[in-house]
């Protein structure tokens, strides 16, 4: 059978949106623990991360890979007041 993989979750998503998604999910400390680069571990910001990632293909590839993983494995959000 010809099974086609699903659509690429990074298609149409800006690098800024990926970073914001990852920071929302993991926080800067968690993101820095998963991808150990200075723009995530030392005085992190979206702007400094974008500047570094746009000129560093290997680091951008790591961010895109983590983004794909996080989209494929969403966290289940439960609020304390929900049963």
Q: CA angle 43-46-52, nearest 5°?
A: 80
The per-residue DSSP string of 5-31 comes to PPPPTTTT--HHHHHHHHHHHHHHHHH
**pLDDT, position 82:** 45
Whole-prediction pTM value? 0.79
Q: Which residue has the tokens 């993101």?
A: 31
Tens of pLDDT, residue by residue over 8-31, are 776 789 999 999 999 999 999 999
83 pLDDT more than 50: no
pLDDT exceeds cutoff 70 at 5: no
């Amino acid at each position: 059978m010809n099974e086609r993989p699903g659509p690429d979750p990074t298609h149409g998503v800006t690098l800024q949106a990926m970073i914001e998604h990852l920071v929302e999910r993991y926080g800067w400390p968690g993101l820095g623990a998963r991808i150990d680069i200075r723009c995530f571990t030392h005085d992190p910001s979206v702007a400094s991360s974008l500047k570094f990632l746009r000129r560093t293909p290997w680091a951008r590839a790591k961010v895109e890979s983590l983004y794909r993983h996080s989209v494929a494995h969403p966290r289940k959000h439960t609020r304390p007041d929900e049963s």
